[in-house]
């Protein structure tokens, strides 16, 4: 598959709410996930667990996904803009988080994801 095809499949699954299917089927075994604070998590299992932990204390009301977007100087990457509509269980206060994700693709699998956001997520 081309990076374009991988990016389109990624966005399609996210829009269908299948974010964990993305992680299970499109993430490389050795994927590295870089959060906004720079913290890295390595390996498909630990990255999936990180997301499970993240959603465990929230109601997830929905998301929007813009993209995928491409740049010819970085032909192995695509970028996406997310809005995440969540309600932290601790506060019950609904809020929208925004982030840009930059994904690196090798051999049809995502080997790196890097999130840009503002403040704690």
| Interface positions with a copy of itself (CB under 8 A) | 34-40, 66-75, 77-81, 98-100, 102, 114-118
Peptide bond just before 68 cis, omega within 30 deg: yes
C-alpha 29/C-alpha 44 separation (Å) is: 5
CB of residue 89 vs a copy of itself: minimum separation in angstroms? 25
Alpha carbon distance 31, 13 (integer Å): 19
Whichever of 90 and 118 has its CB closer to a copy of itself, that residue is 118
Cβ closest to a copy of itself, residue 37 vs residue 108:
37
As measured in angstroms, the least distance from the Cβ of 7 to a copy of itself is 9
In the complex, least distance from residue 43 CB atom to a copy of itself, rounded to whole angstroms:
17
């Amino acid at each position: 598959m081309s990076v374009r095809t991988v990016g389109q499949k990624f966005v399609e699954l996210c829009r269908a709410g299948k974010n964990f299917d993305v992680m299970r089927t499109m993430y490389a075994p050795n994927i590295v996930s870089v959060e906004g604070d720079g913290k890295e998590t390595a390996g498909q299992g630990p990255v999936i667990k990180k997301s499970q932990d993240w959603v465990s204390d929230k109601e997830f009301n929905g998301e929007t996904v813009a993209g995928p977007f491409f740049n010819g100087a970085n032909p192995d990457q695509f970028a996406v803009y997310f809005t995440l509509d969540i309600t932290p269980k601790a506060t019950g206060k609904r809020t929208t988080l925004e982030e840009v994700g930059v994904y690196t693709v090798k051999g049809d699998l995502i080997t790196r994801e890097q999130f840009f956001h503002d403040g704690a997520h």
